Structure formats: structure tokens, C-alpha cells
Structure 1
Amino acid sequence: MARKLFLQINMTVDGYVEDANGDIDWHFADAEFDSFILDTLRSIDGMVFGRVAFEKLAAYWPTAEASAGSETQRETARLMNELPKYVLSQTLTGSDWHNSHVLSRDVPAEIERLKARPGKDLALFAGAAAATSLVRLGVVDELRLIVDPLLQGGGTRLFDGKGEPTRLELTATRPFASGAVVLTYVPRRQ
């Protein structure tokens, strides 16, 4: 059985994944959410990112383990650094972030090749443009939208409002004490 690619991303109630300055400091984080993220990382064999998000994360994670405040955060940092990372980019040629790989040619085919390998699922964690593109291309098998209880009022929307409608089926919900909720959808393939 082929593994799947799922999108997991934080967003506000009004659909933004970052504010007007490109910041994500509005994301909630608590021990319950930290455990959820660690469980997600333990369940995958690789992560996919858009280039801009990848570069932001590559500037943070390599040193995050040393400054982590809890064992859960240390383990999260260790997995972020050890797991294979696949970055979608036409301009990036490499990265110093351990176990990083650039996908630049025929991205849908490269994603399908990754999905066809044996192992655990793959997570698409960041990049509104990458998420929009891969969902439109039909290579995302599940969407896990972490909706934070916030009306941002501006910034970068997860989906840009262009393209054909995609019907989704709600398969799971998970509320957090913070008021955030994970909504899990699968695209209805026609």
C-alpha cells in the first residue's frame, strides 16, 4: 500500500496562515499541542515544504534542541532535524539542514515517487503556495487544518481563491483546550 501525503498547517478562522509581515507568532502552543506535533512527527517518514517556509524553518530548527524547554520539545527538534526534508524549489540547489533534498523537476511525479516508496506517510507542513499548488495537482491525500481561534484580518491566505472547486469530506475532528481544532478532510476524487 502506498503511503499518503497529508497537509498539516495552522490557520486562523478567517483562513490566514501568516500575518501581513509573514509572521506566525500567533500560533498557539501548549503542552497538549506539543504532544500532538510530536505524535505527528513520529508517524511520518518525511516532510515536504515550499522554499520560503523551508528557509525559515532551516534557520530555526538546527539549533532548537539545545534551547528546548521540555523533553517533548527536544524530541520534536530532534525529529525535525533527522527526518528527510523535501523542499519544492526552482532556485534552491541545496541546504545545510541535515537530510534535506530539493525537488525541482516534475514535482507531481517526484511526489508520487516518494509516495510509492515503502514506509510511513509524508507531511506537507508549510507554505501556502506549495499547499495550494499540490492540492490543485491532486497529490495531497488528506488535509489536516489546525484552526486557531483568531480572526487575523490580513496576511497570506492558505488558498488563494483561484482554481477549480475541490469537494472535501470531513473524516475527523480534534479539539484542543486552547480553542483550536484540527479538521481532517480528504479530497473527493471524481
Structure 2
Amino acid sequence: MGTLLFGRATYEGMAAHWRGESGPIADFMNSVEKIVASRTLPEATWANSRLLDGEVPGAVERLKAEPGKDIFVFGSADLVADLLAHGLVDEYRLCLAPVVLGNGKPLFKPAPQALNMTLTKVTPLKTGAVILRYLPRYRG
């Protein structure tokens, strides 16, 4: 992973948490490039962060065309819905944790049509969670 792409709310939550943490994961989160898609955030102040330049579809297409490592999106359901609507999600990596909370936000926002996906890999973790990797099959 070379870049993290966030919506504003997820960015603010992650920044608030990771700025005060230490250790290998915190070091990574604080040093990796971070880009924020926001119409309301005046500036991105977390280390190695910047605002996305322009409207999401075109700006993300330009980011994807740049050389470098993969772009990851954590959370940011509204942003992901926009990316999906424009065919800009190359792969989904979902972590299925063996915990039922009983409430919370849906993983996917309502969409005008179904998105079919192909399972490409399953990775069980020691915690009992499972990482599921899918490729979206966009209708053309």
C-alpha cells in the first residue's frame, strides 16, 4: 500500500486516533501518504496528508494513473459509493470479524443496481476473522 484515500469523517477519526499512538502500525499510519476527499475540510494537517485535487472521479483516475503502490480506502462509505458508481474500485478486501454488534452503519450505500463480485482469495486470521478479497464485475 502506498496511499490511503479517506473521506473527511474517516480521515478525522483516524487522525485523532493515530496521532497519539506509537508502535509499528502507528508509525506506518503516521508516515504513509494520505489523501482526503472533502468539500468542507479547509486543510489536511495529519502527517503526509493532503486534500484531493478536484472532483472525486477525475482526481482518483489521475491518482490511479500515477506510478507507485496501491491506493487503499478504509471506511469512507460515501466515498466508496462514489468510486463504485464510476467503476474506480479494482478490488475489495473485506474483513469479516466474528462479532455481531446488533447495530451500526451498513457496509454499502444504496445503489441503483447490484454489483456482482468474484471471490479471489480467503485468508483466515488467528483472531477468527477472515479477509475476503473480491473483484467487482462492473456492467458495461
| Higher RCO (CA 8 Å, separation ≥ 6 residues) | 1
Provide TM-score, normalisation by structure 1: 0.69
36, 47, 56: which one pairs with 2:4?
47
Partner of 2:108: 159
Question: In the alignment, what sits opposite 1:144?
Answer: 93
Match of 1:101 among 47, 50, 68: 50
* Structure 2 counterpart SS, 1:101: strand
Partner of 1:125: 74
Aligned to 1:59, the other structure's residue is in SS state helix
Which residue number corresponds to residue 122 of structure 2?
Answer: 173
| 4+ long deviations beyond 3 Å | none
Q: How far off its partner does 1:104 sit?
A: 5.7
In the alignment, structure 1 segments of 5+ residues that lack a partner are 1-43, 66-73
- Pairwise CA distance, 1:132: 2.3
- Structure with the largest fraction of helix: 1
> What is the distance in 2 between the residues matched to 1:179 and 1:132?
28
SS at the partner of 2:71? strand
One-letter code of the match for 1:45?
G
For normalisation by structure 2, the TM-score amounts to: 0.91
Shift of 1:185: 0.2
| Residue correspondences, number | 139
Q: Distance in 1 between matches of 2:81 and 2:129?
A: 22
Name 2:65's counterpart in structure 1.
116
Cα distance in 1, alignment partners of residues 72 and 108 from structure 2: 18
CA distance in 2, matches of 1:110, 1:149: 36
C-alpha spacing 1:118/1:164, structure 2 compared with 1 (3 Å): same
